[in-house]
Amino acid sequence: MSEEKPNHNRAWWGLLILGLLLHLSSVANSDYGLDTHLHLAAIESNEDGTPNLEWGDVRPSDPLASNPSEEQILERGWWQILELYPSWLLPFAAFLPMLALICLVLVMTKGQPQLAALAALHPSFIFATGRLYPESTVALAVAGIVIASLNLFRQRGWALLQWILLAVASVHLLVLVKGLSSTIGWGLLGILLAWILLDRTVPKLNSYSRDPLRALSLSIPLVLIAMIAASFSTGGSLATIQTHSVAWLFALLIAFLDGFGLYLLVGFCCWPFVSDFVTYAKQSKDNESVFLSTFVASGTLLMSMWIASLWVFEADRWGLPLWENMILMGNNGRYLTALMFPLLLLAHRSMKGKEIALVRPLVLALILVLPLSMLAGIHGQTMWTDDAAQSFSDDLENGDDFLYIDDEALAMHWLYTFRLELDPDGERNITGHWRAPESNWQVELEGQAVINRGDLSNVRIIVVAPGFDMDLPEGWQQTANGEAPFLNGGGEWKVYRTS
């Protein structure tokens, strides 16, 4: 046994180092993601005090066309964190919090590398690191909430103050990064502190706070009631809970399987430990363990409901079949990686601190995940729009417009990926427009104005997304073309210029 233990640890340390190297490789090989481009555009425009998307709202009034007059203001969001990084450090804005998370897991396990390696190898985190998505920052905020809460259960006196401050700061970071209202933040903080306070001061309630089944019987209905109430008061995507109830229930089931099943159990290679989780959760009678179980379960339900609402809302808006939109937006399940720290802490406690051996089920779990981790880290993902923008950047003069033709549901997101290449500082005053192929955009080029659409009279360049063959009006000549990467869907893109 004395020889096997170091060998096992060497393998786990090797996997941890491999995971970190894949994160760095992802930084080197991947372009920024669609959402990141939106937030970088907000940073650029923030110099005049209005962090807006100057080419129009990503959910325009006309589902077939953009309108730069509908400027979308990002009052809160990931851009405020990105803005804190100097330009030379910006590519590592998602790697640094990931590094902090791994260090927290190592401290939690007293230096044992097993769970830290599983966290480092998660394909979604590697993907997010390269694309500069906020998943690791959100998970770090949730880790801060959990650490503060567990200490608030056990500490006394003035020591409580530092943990209350950590809870406030962590909730604020979570709300800030996700662009939520401060009301939601104070509500979450109030529920958190109320749970801890009642557990400490009202012995009669210990039967709930220290019994997992009773705690879940209270927390699950509260989440359901809160989300249903929000569907009536806030509108937006949550309104689909009441307007498309049957479709929403189906989407909720798939969102749970996608988020909890695929992104948590499979992504973190935790599915071999499910029976340990369940046994531990049933037998736990201390307030900390019950809090962890309830936190993970309630967080899973809340985020699954949110994802289901997004899927149904976007499918209805773009006129897509729900199943097709769920495939298109299936990566929304990555939101549940926010629960990384409490999930791994639950795993650590359920195994009572025992080392995780590389037994057959876990080896199989790693075999399933490692190819995806390698793909996310070594191959990365590139944007075809970079090459397209470079091909016509010099042809645009200051103040010119260009038109992007695409029918994808995320077409407005793709439009903003041209921004960094064409007008990164906003000094050229270039405006991008988007039209769906069936929007009859040709008549707009001839000067016909259409309500809720931007003016195309100043368009000098037309970019046609991959996979479309269409006849352009007389006077337009093709100047460039190229193949989109396979991971972007493949196909040939084309650029046309007016003569």
Q: What is the pLDDT of residue 1?
A: 36
Cα 387 vs. chain centroid, distance in angstroms?
26
CA distance 406 to 262: 30
Ramachandran area for residue 246 (φ above 0: left; ψ -120 to 50: alpha; else beta):
alpha
Place of tokens 């104005």: 449
CA distance 328 to 266: 20
CA distance 66 to 53: 12
Q: What is the pLDDT of residue 131?
A: 93
Decide: 149 and 291 in contact? Cβ < 8 Å: yes
Give the chain's domains with CATH numbers.
204-350 (no CATH), 384-498 (3.40.190)
- CA distances, 108 to each of 5, 56, 125, 130, 140 (Å): 19, 45, 20, 26, 14
- Give the chain's count of helices (H) and strands (E): 22, 7
Segment (H or E) for 137: helix 135-154
Decide: 274 and 347 in contact? Cβ < 8 Å: no
Place of tokens 């030379």: 88
Tokens describing residue 467: 């996979």
DSSP state of 271: G
Q: In sequence order, what DSSP letters do the residues of 52-109 get, joined into one string?
A: EETT--SS-SSTTB--TTSPEE--SSHHHHHTTS-TTTGGGTTHHHHHHHHHHHHHHT
Q: Which residues have a Cβ under 8 Å from the Cβ of 412 and sit 6 or more positions away?
A: 56, 57, 58, 59, 60, 66, 434
CA distance 277 to 265: 11
- What is the 3-state secondary structure of 365-415? HHHHHHHHHHHHHHHCCCCHHHHHHHHHHHHCCCCCEEEEECCCCCHHHHH
Per-position pLDDT tens, the chain of length 499: 344 455 668 889 999 999 999 999 999 999 999 999 999 988 887 766 677 888 999 989 888 999 999 888 888 889 999 999 998 999 999 999 999 999 999 999 888 899 999 999 999 999 999 999 999 999 999 999 999 999 998 888 788 899 999 999 999 999 999 888 888 888 888 888 888 888 888 887 777 778 888 888 889 999 999 899 888 887 778 889 998 999 999 999 999 999 999 999 999 998 888 888 788 877 778 888 889 999 999 999 999 999 999 999 988 888 889 988 898 888 899 999 999 999 999 988 888 766 777 778 888 989 999 999 999 999 877 889 999 999 999 999 999 999 999 987 789 999 999 998 898 887 888 999 999 999 999 999 888 888 989 999 899 999 999 988 888 888 899 999 999 887 777 889 999 998 7
Segment (H or E) for 117: helix 114-120
DSSP state of 485: P
